[in-house]
Each structure stands twice: as C-alpha cells, then as structure tokens.
Amino acid sequence: MKQLKIYAVLALMLTALVACNKSDTGGSGNAESATEAAAPSGNAIAFIDTRDDKPLIIDAALFDTPAAKEFLATGKNAYIGDEDAIAKGKKVFGLYSCTQCHGPDGKGQVGPGLVGPTFKYPKNATNKGMFETIWAGTNGGMGGKGIGIMDPTDPKNGITPDELLKVIAWIRTKGDGTTGNE
C-alpha cells in the first residue's frame, strides 16, 4: 500500500514536470511565439492579454460572423460607423453592467472613462487592444467579460466576439472621432 502511494506521487511529479516544460516553450511572451501558438486555431492576428502581456488564445470558432472573421484576420472593427451595430452595442453595454462602473456614456463613474483620447492602457486606443482588455480583463479591478472567461462555470455566459465589436463601435461614438481602426 505504502509503495503504491509512492508510485502515485512519482507519477504526479512527472506529469507536473512535463506540463511545466510545455508551458515554458509556449510562454516566452514575444509576438512570434504568440503567432505560432495561435496558428493551429487559424488566428491571423495575435491577441495579447492585458493582464500579463502574454499571448491570449481565443477559440477561432467563436468568431462566427463576417465582421468577427474580418476582425480576426485584420484587427479592424467593421462595425465602426454602422448604426444598427452601434445600437446593439449600446444595449449589450447596459446588459453586462458596464454602465454601472463606466457610466451610461462610457465617460467614467466608479471605473475610468473609456472614450479617450488617453487611456490607462494605451493600447485601448486601438480596437484590437480594447477587445483584449474587455475580453480577458485587467489586474486593476476589471474582470474579463469574454464568453467562457466571465463565468468559467458556465461556458455560455459572457460577451461573444461579435457583440464585443459592437460594444466597442458604440464606445467609439462617444470619443473625439478616432475610430480605433487607424
């Protein structure tokens, strides 16, 4: 019995070692390894996690509309200036309580303003950067809202990439006219 236990512990340690090695090779943090890591799921742009500047892997299958697919390929938000999409984005902003912390116009309340031109995380001036921030959250008080991240116990709960692009398109209408696609 005692021997069995020792074997079990050894096996666990071995698994842990293998796992460590794997994450070492994948996590060097530069853009090149991000592209490599993302390639199997078909990502064309490499997302970076706002929390730790490491590659952020998002399942390519979640990008299931033409606008979402275009974003995945180019990092550009096709919903900028699209009135229907912007109206939907405003609704989603309310639905996910963004309003409570960032104010009804995204100009700041408990949380910071989202309309720029300066941002706490400068990358949020781009649509790709803002997508990454809202998807996975920050270390300074905002949890990720992306589907599967917002509530790990319910993989269906959270904002889809298509909805998030609409939210961002709405936020951009409140700023100084810069679209984030520049």
CB of 102 to ligand HEC, least distance (A): 5
Within a 13 Å sphere around the CA of 18, how many CA atoms are in the beta-carbon half? 6
CB of 67 to ligand HEC, least distance (A): 17
Closer residue to ligand HEC in complex, CB, 26/116:
116
Give the span between the Cα atoms of 43 and 70, in whole angstroms.
11
Q: Residue 121, interface with ligand HEC (CB under 6 A)?
A: yes
Tell which positions 131-160 bind ligand HEC, by CB under 6 A.
Answer: 133-134, 138-142, 145
Judged by DSSP in three states, 166 sits in helix
Which x/- pattern over 5-44 shows residues binding ligand HEC (rule: CB under 6 A)?
A: ----------------------------------------
Find out whether 26 and 35 touch, Cβ atoms under 8 Å. Answer: no
Q: Which residues contact 120 (CB under 8 A, 6 or more apart)?
A: 112, 140
- Would the CA dihedral through 94, 97, 100, 101 be positive or negative? negative
Q: Is 167 in the site for ligand HEC (CB under 6 A)?
A: yes
- Contacting positions for ligand HEC (CB under 6 A): 96-98, 100-102, 110-112, 114, 119-121, 124, 130, 133-134, 138-142, 145, 167
